[in-house]
Amino acid sequence: MFRTSDDWNRIYAEEPKPGWDMDGPTPLLNELLGEASLAPGAAIAVPGCGFGHDAAELARLGFAVTAFDIAPLAIEGARARHGGTVAWRLEDWFACEAGPFEAVFDHTCFVAMEPARRGEYAAATRARLAARGLWLGAAFHDTGDRVGPPFAIAREAMGDLIRASGFELLMLRDARDSHARRAGREFLWIARRM
């Protein structure tokens, strides 16, 4: 059974700072942006934004950011922390009618999805991108003994999924600037919608 809005909201209700929250944007954001060609003001979506640290940092850097989460407490927390610098949307990434965006930035949403939904997730991301839009992301290739979420995926398997979902894979490599708690366990990708 897939996790629902109520399931994720319960986590936020029970854990004022869920385990995935790093109290700030991921350092991987700058690592990815350094390799992507995005003009200032580009429209970027952030699915599964949580408390919105990455979305707020993208807005601070001059992008037009729309951030999504299905947990009401996540969106409330994002607004409380970052105000109106981002268009916060309480919506399901799989079902919303947003876009088109010039890029999608994904740090923890893809790995939070059950593996059976990976193809559906990639298709939803592609559907929300403009022609030749970029999917920028980071995922775990190693979660230790953890059952998930997050769910690890081999780097090669991610490359296969990206290509099979109608994207051109531009970059796929190990992350260099992960948060200390995630160091050595993440990889990055940049893909272009074909």
Residue 22 placed within a domain: no
Range of the domain at 117: 5-17+28-193
For residue 119, being part of any structural domain is answered with yes
pLDDT at residue number 2: 65
Do residues 122 and 162 lie in contact, with contact meaning Cβ atoms separated by under 8 Å? Answer: yes
pLDDT of residue 52: 96
Overall number of domains in the chain: 1
Low-confidence spans in the chain with pLDDT less than 50:
none
Residue 110 lies in a domain: yes
For residue 23, is it within any domain?
no
Tokens matching residue 111:
């790995």
Determine, yes or no, domain membership for 178.
yes
The pLDDT, as a whole number, for residue 57 is: 97
Q: Is residue 74 part of a domain?
A: yes
pLDDT value for 135: 98
Is 185 among the domain residues?
A: yes
CATH of residue 50 = 3.40.50.150
- The reported pLDDT for the residue numbered 17 is 78
Residue 131 lies in a domain: yes
What pTM did the predictor assign?
A: 0.92
Tens of pLDDT, residues 27-46: 999 999 999 989 989 999 99
Three-state DSSP class for residue 60: helix
Q: Which helix (H) or strand (E) holds 69?
A: strand 64-69
The answer, yes or no, to whether the previous bond of 25 is cis (omega within 30 of 0) is no
Residue 12 · residue 74 · CB < 8 Å: yes
State how far the Cα of 122 lies from the Cα of 94, in Å rounded to an integer: 10
